[in-house]
Every structure is written in C-alpha cells, then in structure tokens.
Homo-oligomer: A and B are copies of this chain.
Amino acid sequence: MVTNQILTAIKNRRSIRKYTKDDVPNEAIDTVLEAGRWAPSGLNNQPWKFAIIKDKDIKQKLSVLTESGRIVKECNACIAVFYSLPEGYNRDKDILAIGACVQSMLLSAHSLGIGTVWLGEILNRKSDVNKLLKVGDDCELMAVIALGYPAQSPKSSRKKLAKLIIKNL
C-alpha cells in the first residue's frame, strides 16, 4: 500500500494525555486553528467558533468541570470548539462538519509535533463551560482539545477494515 506524510499522520496520530512543560507558541495554536478554519461544511456555512484557553486560572476552573481535569490542568492550552447555532442549517450535517474541523486541528497539531486529546465528557457540563468562558448560549460546546508537547507515546487499535465494509458493490 502506498504511503505519504498525510496517510502516516492520519494513522500515527494518537491521543496524548501527558505533556512536557514546554510552551506551545501562540503561532502554533494559530496554525492549528487555521487548519480547522479550512474544514469542509455543508453549504460552506462554517458553523464553528473557537475559544483559546492558555490562562492557568481559567484552565484550573475548567478542569473542575470534567473527569479529565488532570489533563486540562497539565496541558499547555485548550481549544474549546463551539457550534455557532445561528449559522447552522441542519444539526446532523453541522455537527459532522465540526467533527471534520476538529480532525483537521488534531492532524495539524500532530504535524507540528504537538500532542492533543479530544475531550468529550466535558460536554456534560457545557452550560457551565459557557458561563466560565463568558460565551453566549448561541454557541453550543462541541469539544475541548487539550494541547501540549507529548510526554508519552501511547498505542491504540481499531476494528479491522473488513468489519467496517458492509457492502462492496
């Protein structure tokens, strides 16, 4: 099977939950957001908004809102990804687009040597996150991405491709 840097990144990117103390430069965070910005969306409606959280006090308060609190505290920065409801046109399709946007951010971070983990459990406290970050209720929290330089090299696994292909017509 052929390979290239993109295929390798897609396959080798792992969720990183332990980080060095090194600072992720603002320019790198902008590069990650820039990758998110170019994701595809239905009708090109781009229904996403981003909040960058580097402030230690706010990260501390955010950490209390999730079972992944240690990660939020120890990572260098978080990107909260919101669904901008007034820009939405179809909830399923908009959420698919936001998933594509998150994946572009995870892959771009990986390409810069930055580890990430996609936090979902924190959605249980989405309205508290909005309050903490002073984000209006026209934006619905969809994901928090924790970022930092990796201090681990975890393995993962996936189902076999043959189990995922239900028709070959």
Chain A residues with CB under 8 Å of chain B are: 1-2, 4-7, 9-11, 13, 15, 27-28, 30-31, 33-40, 42, 44, 46, 48-55, 58, 80, 82, 90, 92-93, 95-104, 106-108, 110-112, 118, 120, 123, 133-135, 139, 142-143, 156-159, 161, 164-169
Q: Which of B10, B54, B98, B167 contacts A38 (CB 8 A)?
A: B10
Copies in the complex: 2
A133 pairs with B169, CB closer than 8 A: yes
The contact sample of 7 A-B pairs, CB cut-off 8 A, is A2-B27, A10-B39, A34-B161, A38-B158, A49-B166, A53-B167, A135-B166
- Distance from A120 Cβ to chain B, minimum over Cβ atoms (Å): 5
Known: A2-B28, A99-B99. 6 other contacts (CB 8 A): A6-B110, A10-B104, A10-B108, A37-B161, A95-B95, A95-B96
Given A31-B2, A120-B42, A164-B33, A169 contacting B97 (CB threshold 8 A): no
Given A111-B4, A158-B38, A169 contacting B96 (CB threshold 8 A): no
- How many angstroms from the CA of A169 to the CA of B55 in the assembled complex? 6
